[in-house]
Amino acid sequence: MSRLSEGLKTPYEEDDVFKSEIKISLLKKIDKIFSKGLNYYIDSKEVKTSKEESIFFRKDNFNADLNLSSKKIVNHFEEEKISLSAISKLSDIKTERLLPKYSIKNEPSEVARKIRTQLYPAFNNEKKEFLKSLISKFADFNILVFEFIENWNQKEKVNINGFYLSPNVIVLKRNKKSFSREIFTLIHELGHYLLDEEEIDEQTREDSSDYNSLSRTEQWCNDFAYYFLAGENDKIISNLKIASKENDYHHDVIYSIADKTNLSVLAIYTRLLINQKISHNNYKNVCKEIWESIKEWERKEQLRREREKKKAEEEGRKLGGAAAKPIISPLYVKTLQSAFYEGAINESEFCRKLNIKADKMDKFLQ
């Protein structure tokens, strides 16, 4: 009710909404909040509240205090998961689990070593390409990854980085500032998949000095993500002497390993902190320097964009550049292809789900 009444001199009251008839203008305002489509509200069927229907019925608590934008994102992909499950059954597509389940009693380093042999792709320090390769590898093992991109002008920003939905869906938010952090989030959520413990994470804490405050599950998933990405480089990190100002906090070694693993520099320094190879004060100093350098880079980027915009305006032209598009899992495309060929979905639905125009269909049906 408070959201509906924002900016109004006379706020809406409950009687305006909870009565036998409602103004279409008000219903449209309600739908701007929930984005369900007007048919949703006039459908006479009861709203389903089964545990299978939504993670919000399956879990009481999350690792995030979800705002409304985040809840809408989670709900959207939950519905997408249910829709794809139905399509898969109609199209006779097999999506059974191909990897074993583990528990937090299993050593995350050992699990990471085993899973690396199956899911680690050819290394590429072009981070976005490496992320694509990971998503493609996951698809080979029936793990479906969705990436979503938040609109730059969205009023309320999503306050989550990623989540796992049982039995086989991982959702990631595009991290525009750092693909390394997005890669870490993906592997962290893979940890949840291996444990088969659903979770919605506000942040994966790859750079948290308060590591011990995390739950054992979160620690396990973070440890797993580190070992999975570090591989043999963990030996180098583990054998480093205590980082201090005298040895320049192993700056050159850390940055070299970050380049060879696609781990972020912050994640590696956090591992040094966990291994007691750097003091809390020195860790904070290092993190402060890194964040300041990131902010400086962002400031320069902002200035560059503003100069480009000003130049374009002076020359009477519009800045080009297509809108960013999320990475699409090959498993998602394969499922939709089969569904289309089997007649489970039509051309319109196929294009809508892939967010493409009809003349681009052939590209996705090869």
Strands annotated E in 181-280: 199-201
Assign 208 a pLDDT band (cuts: 50, 70, 90): low
Assign 206 a pLDDT band (cuts: 50, 70, 90): low
Q: Which residue, among 200, 209, 208, has the nearest Cα to 181 in the 3D structure?
A: 208
User: What's the distance, CA 286 to chain centroid?
Assistant: 26
Q: Which residue, among 225, 230, 173, has the nearest Cα to 194 in the 3D structure?
A: 225
Is the previous residue joined to 167 through a cis bond, with omega within 30 degrees of 0?
A: yes
For the chain, give the number of residues: 366
Q: Are 258 and 230 in contact (CB under 8 A)?
A: no
User: Residue 51, Cβ neighbours under 10 Å: how many?
Assistant: 10
Kindly report the pTM of this predicted structure. 0.85
Assign 52 a pLDDT band (cuts: 50, 70, 90): low
Q: Are 148 and 174 in contact (CB under 8 A)?
A: yes
**Segment (H or E) for 158:** none
Sequence-separated contacts (24+) of 29-38 with Cβ below 8 Å: 29/4, 30/4, 33/3, 33/4, 33/68, 34/72, 35/72
Sequence-separated contacts (24+) of 292-300 with Cβ below 8 Å: 294/177, 298/177
Task: Summarize pLDDT for 329-359 with one digit per residue, the tens.
Answer: 999 999 999 989 888 889 999 999 998 999 8
Looking at the predicted structure, is the pLDDT value of residue 365 above 60? yes
Alpha helix positions (H), 2-126:
14-17, 24-34, 38-42, 55-58, 68-90, 108-119
Q: Are 276 and 241 in contact (CB under 8 A)?
A: no
**Segment (H or E) for 169:** strand 169-173
Task: Summarize pLDDT for 260-300 with one digit per residue, the tens.
Answer: 999 999 999 999 999 999 999 999 999 999 889 888 888 88
Domain edges within the chain? 1-45, 64-301+320-327
Query: What was the pLDDT predicted at 302?
Result: 84
Looking at the predicted structure, is the pLDDT value of residue 211 above 80? no
